[in-house]
Amino acid sequence: MCGIVGYIGDKDAPLICLQGLRRLEYRGYDSAGISVVVDGLLDTRKVVGKLDNLEALLQTEPLHGPVGIGHTRWATHGKPSVDNSHPHLSCAGDLAVVHNGIIENYSELREQLRGEGHEFRSQTDTEVIAHLIEKLYQGNLGDAVRAACHELRGSFALGVIHQSHPDLLIGARRFSPLVVGIGKGENFIASDMGAIRKWTDQVYVIGDDEMGEITSQGIELFDLEKQPVHREIFNIPWPAEAAEKGGHKHFMHKEIHEQPAAMRECLLGRLSSPDKPIVLEGLNMTDDDIRGLKKVIFAACGTAYHAGLVGSFLMENFARIPSEGDLAAELRARNPVVLEGTLAILVSQSGETADTLVALRELKEKGARVVSVINVVDSSIARESDGVVYIQAGPEIGVASTKAYTLQVLTLQMLACHFAEVRGVQPPEVLRDMKIGIMNVPEQAAECLAREDDVKAVAAKYYQLHNALYLGRGISLPTAMEGALKLKEISYIHAEGYSAGEMKHGPIALVEPALFTVAVAVQGDVYEKMVGNIQEIKAREGPVIALATDGDEYIPGEADDVMWVPACPELISAATAQIPLQLFAYHVADMKGCHIDQPRNLAKTVTVE
Ligand code: AGP
């Protein structure tokens, strides 16, 4: 996600913005910039790379002034470059905008503005906002911003300044977070409270389609109809040093809780109605290309591999295309036969994993079309793919992948549904139900997070054991495998994800009171078989934690403990079912005092084979 800081007051705005942006560095970024209004003129400095580059530029080309906005960019549209970095300016260069979010209708707005003579310098959606405000400006900056927000579809947190209004800073938001900081003789805007906690512990958390017109002496909050809005002052309960994690103890915990909002970003502009086609910009495949597919190969590592297994299951079970999920490191070793009409889908959070990149090159060389499902824009795997679908998760700092996984799954759910629709292999009502189910995932994820205390209570019963089995069947097998990976990589408990159907072929020999089993037994085609597996384990005195669907009255009598998930079609259960397992692993590791964000021996990105 991008980071925004704005300041108006008696201090030096560029200095405040730079220091504030440093507290947002954890969000990850690839470029940065600051604009100020001084002596009736707007001036801007922008760089590619880290804030140190911006600080160095400000040394050689100083910028000072009492009102300014700053930005760290996490690329979503357009690769990292000075032109694509924020702030973005109007044609006249008298107005600057910084933005976090995704403007769904930026293409049509850009064409419309181009037709009216506006010239664009970047590939970004954000620049459209600067030109739109310029077009609508008739002397009142607040009115122009409100009018522009009415025309924007999608998500935004905005900071706006104008050289004709040296005493005004504007902040507006829809879906993307923004707070207004309350100072004495100075005021602020920021993407999160941590960025400005050094200077104030009081903020207004403004709501969607609300904005602040801010001077150094006061703050006025309005809705987009210019009706005044009343917001209670929020007193930030934690000290500045806790800021980067937004009050969370670990980045992993923060990222687990970011999932509903990140999921909504992932769906934005792609799946807005069950009665409309899914639009996956960047896929770069025509309907004929999709109809011509004869096989899909998923290749990835670790968590991304588990997401690929979910994708492979859906591609075959729902889109009816022969499909397989491979470990990238193993694919090359078997010298795969790639037939005509093969699509390779490479899944990767970082887009830099060496094994996955090697697999991409191998499959491409053998004639496969390559599409990647990636988080980091313009990463190596993205650049070498024929098509890229970004998951829009924002930076993931914790080494153990959480939100990237569920957004990879969500993206692959959309992809499989899109392919099924184009190939005409599912009836309209089935497709519609699938789209409704996918659209409900963010709310269901939020419901799972609301049950964190229940999961924590279960973790307290098991965190001192040393061995675990995670069992699943069908589309829940990857859920079990990913749950086991989460536990082992942050708590160091030996956990194996296994096909429940395989229990009787060996693993059941391990069952004893000291080994606990997590059984993914959500409602669906394999539920009865999973109950049977639970009974087999209980008969051998193995403790069992079941992952079960709300309303299941049978499971509580079979398992020792239950973690509950909201009811949803089994085919799209993989994303929400993972959340209790993430929370379970997190609390087990926390109770063991493990170094959760940087587990021993692990790196966030493995760029060596
Ligand atoms: C997952 O929690 C691990 N951090 C690791 O397995 C990771 O998923 C794997 O290294 C692949 O990384 P990528 O998604 O960046 O390609």
Residue 408 Cβ inside 6 Å of ligand 1? The answer reads: no
pLDDT in tens, 291-330: 999 999 999 999 999 999 999 999 999 999 999 999 999 9
Q: What is the DSSP string of 30-46?
A: SEEEEEEEETTEEEEEE
Position 431 confidence tier, pLDDT thresholds 50, 70, 90 = very high
The pLDDT, as a whole number, for residue 283 is: 97
| H or E element at residue 387 | strand 387-390
The pLDDT, as a whole number, for residue 63 is: 96
Residue 301 Cβ inside 6 Å of ligand 1? The answer reads: yes
Model confidence at 242: pLDDT above 60: no
Position 607 confidence tier, pLDDT thresholds 50, 70, 90 = low
Above pLDDT 90, what percent of the chain? 86
Q: State how far the Cα of 609 lies from the Cα of 602, in Å rounded to an integer.
A: 14
| H or E element at residue 98 | strand 95-100
At a CB cut-off of 8 Å and minimum separation 6, what does 167 contact? Answer: 8, 67, 215, 216
Position 243 confidence tier, pLDDT thresholds 50, 70, 90 = low
**Is 417 an active-site residue?**
no
Rg (CA), the chain: 25
The pLDDT, as a whole number, for residue 241 is: 63
Residue 353 Cβ inside 6 Å of ligand 1? The answer reads: yes
The pLDDT, as a whole number, for residue 332 is: 83
Position 608 confidence tier, pLDDT thresholds 50, 70, 90 = low
Active-site choice (366, 456, 461, 604): 604
At a CB cut-off of 8 Å and minimum separation 6, what does 67 contact? Answer: 6, 7, 8, 13, 36, 37, 161, 166, 167, 168, 169
**Is 2 an active-site residue?**
yes
pLDDT in tens, 495-541: 999 999 999 999 999 999 999 999 999 999 999 999 999 999 999 99
Position 360 confidence tier, pLDDT thresholds 50, 70, 90 = very high
Mean pLDDT of 425-439: 97
For residues 394 and 493, the model is more confident at: 493
Residue 554's closest CA among 523, 517, 598, 511? 523
Q: State how far the Cα of 81 lies from the Cα of 91, in Å rounded to an integer.
A: 19
Residue 304 CA, ligand 1 centroid: distance in Å:
6
The pLDDT, as a whole number, for residue 379 is: 79
Model confidence at 1: pLDDT above 80: no
With the most atoms of ligand 1 within 8 angstroms of its CB, the residue from 349, 402, 489, 581 to mutate is 349
Tokens of 96: 């600057």
The pLDDT, as a whole number, for residue 184 is: 96
Position 125 confidence tier, pLDDT thresholds 50, 70, 90 = very high
* Residue 603, SS3 per DSSP: coil
Which residues on adjacent β-strands are paired with residue 181?
188, 203
The pLDDT, as a whole number, for residue 521 is: 98
What mean pLDDT is reported for the chain?
94
Which residues on adjacent β-strands are paired with residue 565?
549
Q: Report the nearest-CA residue for atom 7 of ligand 1.
A: 302
Backbone angles phi and psi of 603, in degrees to 5: -120, 155
pLDDT in tens, 415-430: 999 999 999 999 999 9
Residue 349 Cβ inside 6 Å of ligand 1? The answer reads: yes
Residue 405 CA, ligand 1 centroid: distance in Å:
9
Burial annotation 356-365 (CB, 10 A radius, 16+ → b, else e): bbbbbebbbe
At a CB cut-off of 8 Å and minimum separation 6, what does 248 contact? Answer: 254, 257
pLDDT in tens, 251-260: 999 999 999 9
Cα 342 versus chain centre, distance: 29
| H or E element at residue 6 | strand 3-9
Cβ neighbour number for residue 284 with a 10 Å cutoff: 14
Cβ neighbour number for residue 392 with a 10 Å cutoff: 24
Report the greatest alpha carbon distance in the chain: 80
Q: What is the set of domains in the chain, with CATH numbers?
A: 3-242 (3.60.20.10), 245-439 (3.40.50.10490), 442-596 (3.40.50.10490)
Q: Report the nearest-CA residue for atom 6 of ligand 1.
A: 302
pTM of the predicted protein model = 0.76
pLDDT in tens, 461-500: 999 999 999 999 999 999 999 999 999 999 999 999 999 9
**Residue 609 in contact with residue 355, Cβ under 8 Å?**
yes
Residue 189 Cβ inside 6 Å of ligand 1? The answer reads: no
SS3 string of 463-486?
CCCCEEEEEECCCHHHHHHHHHHH
